[in-house]
Homo-oligomer: A and B are copies of this chain.
Amino acid sequence: MFAFRVLDRSGVPAYLQLVDQVRRGLLLGHLQEGDQLPTVRAVASAVVINPNTVAKAYRELEHAGLAVARAGQGTFVTGNIEQVPAATYARLSGRLRQWFADAREAGLAPEQVRAMVDAVMDDERRRETA
C-alpha cells in the first residue's frame, strides 16, 4: 500500500502535497494503474490531518483523471500519465543521488545543498518558459 510522507511546514497546502505525492508516484513508477490508495480515514489518522483534507486531495486526483474512487471499496489510481522509463529512471536517479552524496562529502550543509538545487531548478524553469 502506498504510504504518504509526513507533512512539513513549507507553506504548501496539505492537500496539494498529497496530490503531488501521488502524481510523483505515478510518474516514477512507484504506483501502477489499479493500485489502491490508503483510505481517506487511514491517511487522515496516519498523517494527523482532517479527513476532509484528504478527501479534497482525492477529489482533486479524480478530477485530474489520475484516480478513481469507488464508494465502499476505496480509491484506485489510473495510468493516465506518462511514466519515466524504468531504465532511464534508474540511471538518472542514481547519478542524482551520487551528486547529493558528493555535496555532503564536500561539507555542504543541507540548507546549502537545497539552495543550490533550488537555484538551478529556478534557472531550468526560466528556460522552460523562455
Interface on A for B, CB 8 Å cutoff?
5, 10-13, 16, 20, 23-24, 27-28, 82, 84, 88-89, 92-93, 95-97, 99-100, 102-103, 106-125, 128
Contact = CB atoms under 8 A, between A and B. Distances in A.
A99 B96 contact: yes
Q: How many copies does the complex hold?
A: 2
Contacts of A10: 12
A12 to B, nearest CB: 4
A119 to B, nearest CB: 6
A86 to B, nearest CB: 13
Nearest to A113: B124
A82 to B, nearest CB: 7
Given A92-B106, A95-B99, A122-B5, A112 B27 contact: yes
Closest 9 CB pairs between A and B?
A: A27-B115, A11-B12, A24-B115, A96-B120, A11-B13, A84-B112, A88-B106, A27-B112, A110-B128
